[in-house]
């Protein structure tokens, strides 16, 4: 049986280094939407050297989440931690529950929603680690009243590799 090889070494020190970071579960979320959605920055693209971004998305009580869209430059993966989430797999909306996982390669149409009104949370992972923080923060500001012109909204989505399907 043949296995893919490991990538080239990126650390050439002799004894390792102290570089691990711990984010406590009770840390305050970095972003809160008007709907009650919160986003925790577990690992940003900047903190992982561009390898990946990992975020905890906790739904508020109301319906929320983007409709079908795709990305040209990044993959997006979803892992449901608690509750039930509707995930769009490019064909249909499916109910995903604790432990379910959806991986979307570049170009894959997807979306997510919490329409059940019940508590739910999931992990979102982007590879490589695109700077999604401005995306989350700007959408939170829009949810609280920031107005974007049609041209600004179009430029915003293009800058963040969001293409509506």
pLDDT tens string 119-133:
899 999 999 999 999
User: Is 22 a domain residue?
Assistant: no
User: Is 82 a domain residue?
Assistant: yes
Model pLDDT, residue 2: 85
User: Is 149 a domain residue?
Assistant: yes
- In angstroms, the CA 38 to CA 83 distance is 15
Contact indicator for 100, 127 with CB cutoff of 8 Å: no
CATH value at residue 36? 2.60.120.10
pLDDT tens string 1-50:
888 899 899 999 999 999 999 999 999 999 999 999 999 999 999 999 99
Number of domains comprising the chain: 1
User: Is 10 a domain residue?
Assistant: no
- In angstroms, the CA 87 to CA 145 distance is 27
Question: Among residues 89, 49, 54, 85, which one has the least CA distance to residue 68?
Answer: 89
User: Is 136 a domain residue?
Assistant: no
pTM of the model: 0.92
Domain span holding position 110: 31-131+144-164
User: Is 121 a domain residue?
Assistant: yes
pLDDT tens string 58-93:
998 888 899 999 999 999 999 999 999 999 999 999
User: Is 111 a domain residue?
Assistant: yes
User: Is 17 a domain residue?
Assistant: no
């Amino acid at each position: 049986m043949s296995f893919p090889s490991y990538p080239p070494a990126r650390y050439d020190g002799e004894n390792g280094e102290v570089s691990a970071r711990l984010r406590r579960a009770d840390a305050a979320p970095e972003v809160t939407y008007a709907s009650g959605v919160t986003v925790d920055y577990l690992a940003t693209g900047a903190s992982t050297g561009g390898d990946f971004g990992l975020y905890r998305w906790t739904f508020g009580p109301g319906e929320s989440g983007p409709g079908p869209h795709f990305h040209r430059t990044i993959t997006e993966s979803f892992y449901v931690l608690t509750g039930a989430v509707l995930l769009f797999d490019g064909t249909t909306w499916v109910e995903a529950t604790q432990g379910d996982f959806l991986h979307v390669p570049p170009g894959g149409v997807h979306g997510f929603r919490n329409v059940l009104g019940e508590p739910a949370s999931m992990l979102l992972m982007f590879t490589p680690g695109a700077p999604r923080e401005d995306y989350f923060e700007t959408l939170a500001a829009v949810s609280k009243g920031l107005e974007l012109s049609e041209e600004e909204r179009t430029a915003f989505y293009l800058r963040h590799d969001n293409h509506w399907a």
